[in-house]
Amino acid sequence: MTVSQDRLTAWIILLLGAAALAVAYGSQYGLGMAPCDLCYWERWPYRAAILIGLLALILPRPVRRFLLWLGVLPFLANIGIAGLHVGVERGFWPSPLPECSAANIFKGSLSTLMSGLPATPAKPCDAPNFLIPGLPISFTTMDLIYAAICSAIVVFCLTRRRA
């Protein structure tokens, strides 16, 4: 049994999205790396890629081809989000998310302040995580590179000629 090129491309989109989320959740829960709010934003395009891949597997051919071309967009969107995050990590610009910076306002007693804190501490967006010790490439930079490679793979799959 052979798999059509369109179905293979749908599987590739789905698996590329799933692999990225597996690494993100594995590093968060398995390695104890705390993600910031921009890190959470970077996960949404991969979820969209998984959904597009699933839909492309079950819908008829004319719709499938359109969906496969849409399958490039989540990876391109993630390039933008990861690029923004890399700029925040390197201090090129401040984070657009208010959750990424600590507020300096202290009103009331210490117990009031402590009761308002979240159950888990928030990680600032300008504090990079490094997956490989000694390698000066942050997790976010690796995600940017991964999203660019994924975009290229999907475009290659969609544009190569059928044998």
Instruction: Count CB atoms within 10 A of the CB of residue 5.
Output: 15
Predicted pLDDT at 125: 81
Give average pLDDT by consecutive 10-residue segment, the chain, 163 residues: 78 97 94 88 96 95 91 97 92 81 57 55 76 85 96 94 60
Distances (CA, A) of 77 to 13, 46, 136, 144: 14, 10, 24, 10
- The CATH number of 5-96+123-159 is which of 2.60.40, 1.10.357, 1.20.1550, 1.10.8? 1.20.1550
Q: How many CB atoms lie within 10 A of CB 30?
A: 9
Q: Provide the pLDDT for residue 97.
A: 79
- The token pair at 15 is 């698996």
36 within 8 A of 125, measured Cβ to Cβ: yes
Torsion sign (Cα): 138, 99, 76, 63:
positive
Q: Of the candidates 54, 45, 67, which has an alpha carbon nearest to the alpha carbon of residue 15? A: 54
Rg of the chain in Å (alpha carbons): 19
Q: Which of 91, 95, 75 minimizes the C-alpha distance to 148?
A: 75
DSSP state of 121: P
Structural domain spans, the chain: 5-96+123-159
Residue 87: how many other CB atoms lie within 10 Å: 15
User: How many helices, marked H, and strands, marked E, lie in the chain?
Assistant: 6, 0
